[in-house]
């Protein structure tokens, strides 16, 4: 019908216009800006140059990058170790409890991470709850300085990003066919072997998805290192923020953002390669 065709074209029109204008175009602008320079008159101007990228080779920037990767990797690892058993227990829980258990994970997931990070401060202060508890239990004799250290940043990141690890894992583990586990046991494998050779490989897509969902934000959520790590904590996200608002070097900020996007692309490609031939998820 004519009106059906019209409906289709209007819908597709709106979609394409919006996404091109506000997603594709801005991204292209970032890439283009990274090849431009900063001038006194305007934040971004000609001439075209590779200056920003050559400046990135500076060991200072490289150090920040290394530190960001390290912290992000640690965050992912800790989230994985804490989160995998957690996700496994929930995914295999009885149907009666599962909705409630899921809800209790989703609530922190939806709570502003700013609020949650702020809540961590009270925990980690010298006179904070954690120290008071440990002192009271006699585990330590002097309050630990946690706040404004890398440890605090990692703790804050794990605290914020744990749900991002757990939720994809739960979806993935739920899809695990329990009969495969039964078959492994039936053929003589003990728990450890079954875990290593059946469960882990089959839940690999979930593990990778969760890790990527933790790794990238860990590098770029600038307000967490800012609040919990203090002024001296400079990760990649802080660097970009700094370039745009303090150093006012937009091309540099764009260059770093472009590198970040390339990193994202590499991680996605890795994910697709590592999960080739397996069931991944609804959106892929």
Partner 1 sequence: MNRRYLHVAYLGMIYLFLYCPLFILVVYSFNDTRYSLLWQGFTWHWYQELFHDRSLWLATWHSFTLGITSASIATLIGMITAISLYRYQFTGKKILNGLIFILILSPEIVMGASLLILFAFLLQLKLGFLTLLLSHVTFCTPFVIVTIYSRLVSFDKNIFEAAKDLGAADWQILKRIIIPLLWPALFAGWLLSFTLSLDDVIISYFVAGPEFEILPLKIYSMVRSGIKPEINALCSVLFFLTLTLTVLSQLALKKRN
Q: What residues between 22 and 61 interact with partner 1 by CB under 8 A? A: 22-27, 29-30, 33, 42-44
Judge whether 228 and 147 are in contact, CB under 8 Å: yes
Sole residue written with tokens 């989160």: 83
* Residue 113 interacts with partner 1 (CB under 8 A): yes or no: yes
Judge whether 276 and 282 are in contact, CB under 8 Å: no
| Residue 12 token pair | 């597709």
Written as one string, the DSSP assignment of 107-146 is HHHHS-HHHHHHHHHHHHSTTSHHHHHHHHHTS-SS----
Distance CA(160)–CA(70), nearest Å, equals 17
By CB under 8 A, how many residues form the interface with partner 1? 85
Bridge partners for 45 per DSSP: 37
Binding test (CB under 8 A) with partner 1, winner from 99, 197, 201, 248: 99
For the segment 206-235, give every residue that binds partner 1 (CB under 8 A): 212-213, 216-217, 219-223, 226-227
Closer by beta carbon to partner 1, 198 or else 264: 264
* Residue 84 interacts with partner 1 (CB under 8 A): yes or no: no
Q: Quote the least distance from Cβ 189 to partner 1, whole Å.
A: 17
Query: Which of 76, 118, 48 lies closest to 215, judged by CA?
Result: 76
Sole residue written with tokens 């609804």: 282
Judge whether 219 and 68 are in contact, CB under 8 Å: yes
Binding test (CB under 8 A) with partner 1, winner from 115, 137, 139, 246: 115
Q: Quote the least distance from Cβ 187 to partner 1, whole Å.
A: 22
Binding test (CB under 8 A) with partner 1, winner from 106, 247, 266, 274: 106
DSSP symbol at 42: -
Judge whether 240 and 222 are in contact, CB under 8 Å: yes
Q: Quote the least distance from Cβ 174 to partner 1, whole Å.
A: 14
Distance CA(203)–CA(280), nearest Å, equals 9
* Residue 107 interacts with partner 1 (CB under 8 A): yes or no: yes
* Residue 254 interacts with partner 1 (CB under 8 A): yes or no: yes
Half-sphere exposure of 127 (CA within 13 A, CB side): 0
Closer by beta carbon to partner 1, 111 or else 145: 111
Q: Of 12-20, 47-55, 59-67, 172-180, which segment contacts partner 1 by CB under 8 A?
A: 12-20
Distance CA(76)–CA(157), nearest Å, equals 9
Closer by beta carbon to partner 1, 202 or else 221: 221
Q: Of 16-24, 47-55, 58-66, 135-143, which segment contacts partner 1 by CB under 8 A?
A: 16-24
Q: Quote the least distance from Cβ 46 to partner 1, whole Å.
A: 13
Bridge partners for 109 per DSSP: none
For the segment 158-187, give every residue that binds partner 1 (CB under 8 A): 159, 162-163
Closer by beta carbon to partner 1, 192 or else 283: 283
Binding test (CB under 8 A) with partner 1, winner from 56, 69, 108, 195: 108
* Residue 282 interacts with partner 1 (CB under 8 A): yes or no: yes
Distance CA(242)–CA(227), nearest Å, equals 15
Q: Quote the least distance from Cβ 102 to partner 1, whole Å.
A: 8
Closer by beta carbon to partner 1, 206 or else 253: 253
């Amino acid at each position: 019908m004519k009106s059906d065709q019209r409906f289709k074209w209007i819908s597709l029109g709106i979609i394409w216009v919006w996404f091109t204008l506000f997603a594709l175009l801005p991204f292209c602008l970032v890439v283009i800006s990274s090849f431009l320079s900063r001038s006194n008159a305007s934040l971004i101007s000609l001439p075209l140059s590779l200056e920003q990228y050559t400046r990135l080779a500076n060991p200072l920037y490289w150090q920040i990058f290394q530190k960001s990767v390290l912290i992000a990797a640690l965050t992912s690892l800790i989230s994985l170790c804490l989160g995998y058993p957690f996700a496994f227990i929930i995914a295999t829980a009885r149907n009666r409890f599962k909705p409630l258990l899921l809800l209790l994970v989703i609530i922190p997931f939806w709570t502003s991470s700013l609020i949650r990070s702020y809540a961590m401060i009270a925990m980690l202060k010298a006179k904070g709850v954690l120290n008071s508890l440990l002192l009271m239990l006699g585990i330590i004799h002097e309050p630990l300085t946690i706040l404004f250290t890398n440890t605090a940043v990692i703790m804050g990141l794990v605290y914020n990003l744990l749900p991002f690890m757990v939720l994809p894992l739960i979806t993935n583990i739920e899809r695990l066919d329990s009969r495969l586990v039964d078959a492994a046991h039936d053929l003589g494998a003990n728990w450890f072997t079954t875990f290593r050779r059946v469960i882990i490989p089959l839940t690999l897509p979930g593990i990778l998805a969760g890790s990527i969902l933790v790794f990238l934000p860990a590098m770029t959520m600038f307000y967490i290192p800012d609040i919990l790590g203090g002024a001296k904590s400079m990760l990649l996200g802080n660097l970009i923020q700094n370039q745009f608002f303090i150093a006012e070097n937009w091309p540099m900020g764009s260059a770093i953002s472009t590198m970040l996007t390339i990193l994202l692309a590499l991680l996605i490609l890795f994910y697709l390669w590592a999960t080739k031939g397996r069931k991944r998820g609804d959106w892929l």
